[in-house]
Amino acid sequence: MSDGSKRPAAEPAAPRANERPFLRRPALYPDLYTWYVFVAALDILFTWRILRAGGTEVNVLADWIIDRHDVPGMVLFKFVTVVLVVLICEVIGRRRYKTGVKLARWAVALSAFPVVVGAAHLLRIAMGVVGY
């Protein structure tokens, strides 16, 4: 039976979280990313202070960037690496959550290592111990 009237079009269903564009989805591991950014910032600060005290950068690529672009280059290099690592964690974590969280934890731990070493160097500098 048709009365000649058209039915209203069905409203589209609300998009699921995984149907949103990649950059519009909530971050999977925001707490780990906060720690990662914090440790990366400490790395920049400690590296800058150690270099000003006469120390050297042991990462060959970072040393090359610092030599040519000083602090702005160092900051940009660190920013790019942080963004790249977070994006990799997000891409992997959307396919395998547990693998992504392990990767994010490793990123924090590995980034914390030079910070701990840098803190030891800064302590030596503060105490007046000469040599690196």
> What is the tens place of the pLDDT at every residue in 4-16?
545 445 544 444 5
Q: What is the C-alpha to C-alpha distance for residues 47 and 41, in angstroms, rounded to an integer?
A: 10
Q: Is 8 a domain residue?
A: no
> What is the tens place of the pLDDT at every residue in 10-65?
544 444 555 677 677 889 999 999 999 999 999 999 999 999 999 999 999 999 99
Q: Is 4 a domain residue?
A: no
Q: Is 22 a domain residue?
A: no
Q: Is 70 a domain residue?
A: yes
Report which residue type is found at 93. Answer: G
Largest Cα–Cα separation, the chain = 95
Nearest to 90 by CA among 4, 25, 6: 25
Which pTM does this prediction carry? 0.78
Q: Is 24 a domain residue?
A: no
Q: Is 20 a domain residue?
A: no
pLDDT for 111: 96
Which residue segment(s) compose the domain that 69 sits in?
Answer: 29-126
Q: Is 7 a domain residue?
A: no
The domain tally of the chain equals 1
| Helix residue ranges, H only, 1-132 | 30-52, 60-95, 97-126
